[in-house]
């Protein structure tokens, strides 16, 4: 998080986050889905479908379907640490930018 605070180019940070999350947000907006939040919870749960289902208040089969759809849309299997880290970093950047934009007058 310290890197975000010191980086002067917020547009670059936004592009980094959007590279990973934009396809999911677009799908969510078009289909009234919740793939963006499902992926976040899936990553935080260490890939546990049961924990993801509980965190998103859905059935395990729904979480499983969403994760498969996420993999299809992002063309990532979410198996490697690099892939998972890139998505988690995108979520952290996004949260930082959203928080910092709300605190600016």
CA angle 33, 38, 41 (to 5 degrees): 160
- Tally of domains within the chain: 1
- Report whether 4 contacts 96 (CB < 8 A): yes
| pTM for this predicted structure | 0.88
Q: Quick one: which H or E segment has residue 94?
A: helix 81-103
Q: What is the pLDDT of residue 15?
A: 93
User: pLDDT: is 53 or 13 the higher one?
Assistant: 53
pLDDT-derived band at 1 (thresholds 50, 70, 90) equals low
* pLDDT (average), residues 92-105: 77
Indicate which CATH number applies to the domain containing 16: 1.10.10
Give me the domain span that covers residue 18.
2-103
Q: What is the pLDDT of residue 7?
A: 73
Residue-wise pLDDT tens digits, 19-43: 999 999 999 999 999 999 999 999 9
């Amino acid at each position: 998080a310290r890197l975000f605070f010191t980086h002067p180019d917020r547009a670059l940070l936004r592009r980094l986050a959007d590279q990973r999350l934009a396809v999911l947000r677009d799908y969510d907006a078009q289909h009234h889905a919740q793939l963006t939040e499902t992926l976040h919870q899936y990553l935080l749960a260490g890939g546990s479908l049961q924990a993801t289902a509980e965190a998103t208040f859905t059935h395990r089969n729904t979480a499983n379907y969403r994760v498969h759809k996420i993999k299809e849309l992002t063309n990532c299997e979410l198996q490697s640490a690099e892939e998972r880290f890139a998505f988690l970093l995108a979520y952290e950047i996004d949260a930082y930018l959203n928080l910092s934009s709300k605190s600016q007058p």
